[in-house]
Amino acid sequence: MDNQNKNQNNNKKNLNGLLILVAWAVVLTVVFNYLSAYSRQASTAATTHQIQYSEFKRMVKEGKVESVVFTDGKIEISPVEGYTYTGEDGSTYDKDFTLFTMQMGIYDPGLLDTLDEYGVKNYTNPYVPEMSPVLEFMIVYILPIVLLVGAFMLFMNLMTRKGGGIGGIGSVGKSNAKVYMEKSTGVSFADVAGQDEAKESLVEIIDFLHNPGKYTAIGAKLPKGALLVGSPGTGKTLLAKAVAGEAGVPFFSISGSGFVEMFVGVGASRVRDLFQEAAKVAPCIIFIDEIDAIGKTRDSRFGGGNDEREQTLNQLLAEMDGFDPSKGIIVLAATNRPEVLDKALLRPGRFDRRITVDRPNLAGRLATLQVHTRKIRMSEDVDLNKIAQATAGCVGADLANTVNEAALRAVRQGRHAVNQEDLLASFEVVIAGAEKKGTVITEQEKKIIAYHEVGHALTAAKQKKAQPVTKITIVPHTEGALGYTLHLPEEEKFLMSKEDILTEIRTLLAGRCAEELVFNTQTSGAANDIERATELARNLVARFGMNEKFGMMALGTVQSQYLDGGYSMNCAQETFAQADKEVVALLQRCHDEALELLRENREMLDTIASYLFEKETITGAQMMAILEGRDPDKEEYYGVPATQDHTVEAPAKHINIVSEAIPMPGLPEEGGGSADDGHQDQPQQP
């Protein structure tokens, strides 16, 4: 019955709209015909002049008439070349501009003989066929009305398709939010893994929409909003789409940047329109992606509230505070910059819940890999548990990209299923880039890179709290590394002790230490290592309260926790300078300790570097086998069984060696070369 009433109302609205269009078309047609007739009369009056019949007879007898045309009720006269007629009021009319006319109200049977007698031979009475009055009415009135109505309907259709006409001006204040109904997004909670806590909060909100009675019976109120916060790639937008698929209610989706355009006041108008449309179909969900585009903290630097973005934010605050919670409108928003959002936007009553979408743990990564491999043809040797262990610190987007790259790699190699080696190789492509094809490296540079990387790996292996080495390679990659040492944790760690940080700094500086110990030189390849070691040392001194001189005094504030994690120093210049001195002393102490450790294990350093120089890529298990006196060629790599030649993918034989062979050093050399390009290590970030 309700649907029938809605259809009747819609039909009535359509009929009224059509009648309005027809009325406008009739009015415009009448006005156009009137203006057209008036224009023709004005044009004729400007180019003609009426004279007396006797004057016409005199002109004929004087030989001043060149031609005569007889029409209904009048005679049109064209004077001869060069004749100028002067009227009674003194005005003159030249042949080039004027047509003389007069009304035929006099019977003159001898007129034609008179025209022949005085040489006027160009006279005629043209035949004009009479048009049917019905046809004339159709052409003059009906046809223009039909054309105007058709043009109106076509224009309105174009405006609807293009969002308001050329440039969207016709709907400048109208919200352009996408509306999803039920499972039209194609995503459900079954497609989201590794975010159980976030899913639990959102499931409760959806259940509130479906069964409000069991919550209101105890006096609970419907939450107005939830803010999804997390690093890029953790699945905030995917969670919102899953909510759309699970809710079974209208779902409005819009980006924060979609509110503000070139016109002042557009953002506030679109916010009003969005909430008005949502109120019509409540209960519903509104999702605003990247809300930091309009939700930044307000200030007085740009006119004290006259800024367009601030007007949009003020309207959003008013709408979220004003709508009736009993209607069931829930606002979801996502951002990776919560620290810049206005405090009025974050308070309870607007966003009642703050849902952190964090990096998945080991179980979460395993579940995520299972989701992304559901449609991938996998070989029997695939062990997703080992892949989940190897990808510590990765977000959902990284895992999805890894699985896709593995499938592409399997196709490139002519196989019909993805194996374990594909997944591991693709993970390294995601974090370090693909191997460079045709890179030319001299043998001396290759030797320096080998010792540099083994310096990292050996220092990590000889320290108790260091992350275990997974892979060492001296093959150049597209992310700028001439080689890298991959460290992956054996277990999940969420805290770092002071000794953990010092161990990590020693490991990072060990590459430079190996260059100094073996070649007595320093290369640019340690640039990335030094940068990361300095960041760790500065955090230890300025943020973590682990320095004896400053104690638990915080000298810096984090700026972008979920992006680059950078921070700014909030202290006096003198304190800042002292903190820098502490950082320098800490780095120098760790450098000396790493150098001494490598000096004590110089024989193993040479042995592992020689093996890496030959193989170009080895695993952490192979390195440990060398340290323990076992055969390194029999070790597996995260589920990839050992082969006769190599444990992992064959080394890059396309690397060209352009200098003569140099024997591996057994003792420190006095000279030595230097790498002309940087290389970096890639331990997985926690």
Report the C-alpha gap between 220 and 241 in whole angstroms: 26
Are β-strands 329-335 and 284-289 bridged in parallel, bridged antiparallel, or unpaired?
parallel
Contact 80, 63 (CB under 8 A): yes
Residue 248 has phi, psi (to 5 degrees) of 75, 15
Report the C-alpha gap between 455 and 8 in whole angstroms: 81
Interaxial angle between packed helices 420-432 and 396-412, expressed in degrees from 0 to 180 and rounded to the nearest 10? 120
Residue 355 has phi, psi (to 5 degrees) of -100, 115
Q: Which of 310, 453, 582, 649 is catalytic?
A: 453
45 contact partners, CB below 8 Å, separation of at least 6: none
Beta-ladder partners of 330: 285
Report the C-alpha gap between 420 and 404 in whole angstroms: 13
Enter the tokens of residue 224: 């107005």
* DSSP reduced 3-state for 65: strand
Compute the radius of gyration of the chain from its Cα atoms.
43
Report the C-alpha gap between 99 and 377 in whole angstroms: 91
H/E stretch holding 48 reads: strand 48-50
State the SS3 of 186-225. CCCHHHCCCCHHHHHHHHHHHHHHHCCHHHHCCCCCCCCE
- Long-range (24+ apart) CB contacts under 8 A made by 141-147 are 141/29, 141/30, 141/33, 144/25, 144/28, 144/29, 144/32, 144/33, 145/22, 145/25, 145/26, 145/29, 146/25
Largest CA distance in the chain: 140
Q: Is the peptide bond before 133 cis (omega within 30 degrees of 0)?
A: no
State the SS3 of 343-391. HHHHCCCCCCEEEECCCCCHHHHHHHHHHHCCCCCECCCCCHHHHHHHC
Q: Is 453 an active-site residue? A: yes
Interaxial angle between packed helices 602-615 and 498-519, expressed in degrees from 0 to 180 and rounded to the nearest 10? 80
- How close are the terminal C-alpha atoms of the chain, in Å? 59
- Give catalytic residues, as residue numbers: 453
